[in-house]
Amino acid sequence: MQKQKLLILGAGAVVLLILSTVLFMMDSDQQVIQSDQVSNGAGSETAVQEENDSPDDATGSEGGSISVESTENNAAASLDEEEEEEYRSRAEDALDEYTPSDYESFSYEAFESHAYLYTIYQQQAEDSVIEQDAIQSNSELLALELEGWNDYAVEEYGFTFNEQDFLQYVEGEQESSPVEEADVRILVEELEAVSSTAASQQLEFQYARPYIWSQIQDEAAADAGVSPEETSEWNQLYFEIEQRVFERIADSNPTFMEGEPE
């Protein structure tokens, strides 16, 4: 009876992990769609604002690093003291358990490493304990997906990762959703104390997919004959490209759709 109970609890933890992965993917999808709706609606106002911005403002973070002071101010403005302390405690506990190494930007290894850390970070808020093997499998799946998006964008649209553009994009996303992005910002702040490279690569893990889409969406829309003003068509285009990415991943990793990356 005890063994059966443990098996049920173990299965529940795996289901929870799978749901967390699905929610992360769905949240990323929603983030992409919402960002596009905002940017499409901004139109000429955004263009005028960009013209009025100084060159220093347009670069985002100086020297390609993260503006920790700005990040801390944003987080403090959106969280009460108790919430902020809870996030920081979770981040510290997660980093005590696992500290990512520095890898090449936008690489599979970096995505996997930071998916692993973020899964542990999320787990700190849950009562259940997820087995290390399950966390590893989850991290591999997420890394495969992000690598798949990057490879597709490179091959189909000549996408090239630009750190300055990326950090500017992230800054805009965090400013537009200070409360929703608070947990990520605080984790990045704690990582910054360990390694600025690791802090940047956690951001890459979090924002890779919406950033890639922001860079290829105009060309993709032109190829498909989709108007940015048609929200339903725009969203459909995104999901069609996402499906192509998944198909490519599945072709290269036959067990991907079964949840067991090679």
Q: What is the pLDDT of residues 198-217, one digit of tens each?
A: 999 999 999 999 999 999 99
Q: Which two tokens stand for residue 16?
A: 């929870």
What's the confidence (pLDDT) of residue 28? 55
Average confidence score pLDDT of the chain: 77
pLDDT level of residue 118 (50, 70, 90 thresholds): very high
The arithmetic mean of pLDDT across residues 81-105, rounded, is: 93
Distance between CA atoms of 254 and 179, rounded to whole angstroms? 38
Q: What is the pLDDT of residue 29?
A: 58
Residues 6+ apart with CB under 8 A from 34: none
Angle, in degrees to the nearest 10, between helices 231-252 and 196-224: 120
Q: Taking the CA of residue 25 as centre, how many other CA atoms within 13 Å lie in the half-sphere pointing to its CB? A: 18
Distance CA 177, CA 74 (A): 10
Average the pLDDT over each of 32-46, 230-244, 246-260 and give the range with the smallest value.
32-46
Name the pLDDT band for 254 (thresholds 50, 70, 90).
confident
- Distance of alpha carbon 152 from the chain centroid: 17
* Structure tokens, 73: 């101010």
Reduce the DSSP state of residue 93 to 3 states and report it: helix
Which one-letter amino acid corresponds to residue 227?
A: S
> What whole-number distance in Å separates Cα of residue 120 and Cα of residue 93?
9
What pTM was estimated for this model as a whole? 0.72
For the ranges 74-78, 182-186, 221-225, the lowest mean pLDDT is seen at: 74-78
Task: Check pLDDT > 80 for residue 166.
Answer: yes
Angle at 143 between CA 165 and CA 37, to 5 degrees: 45
Q: What is the pLDDT at residue 81?
A: 87
DSSP string, 30-66: HHHHHHHHHHHHHTHHHHHHHHHS-HHHHT-SGGG--
State how far the Cα of 245 lies from the Cα of 44, in Å rounded to an integer.
32
pLDDT at 70 over 50: no
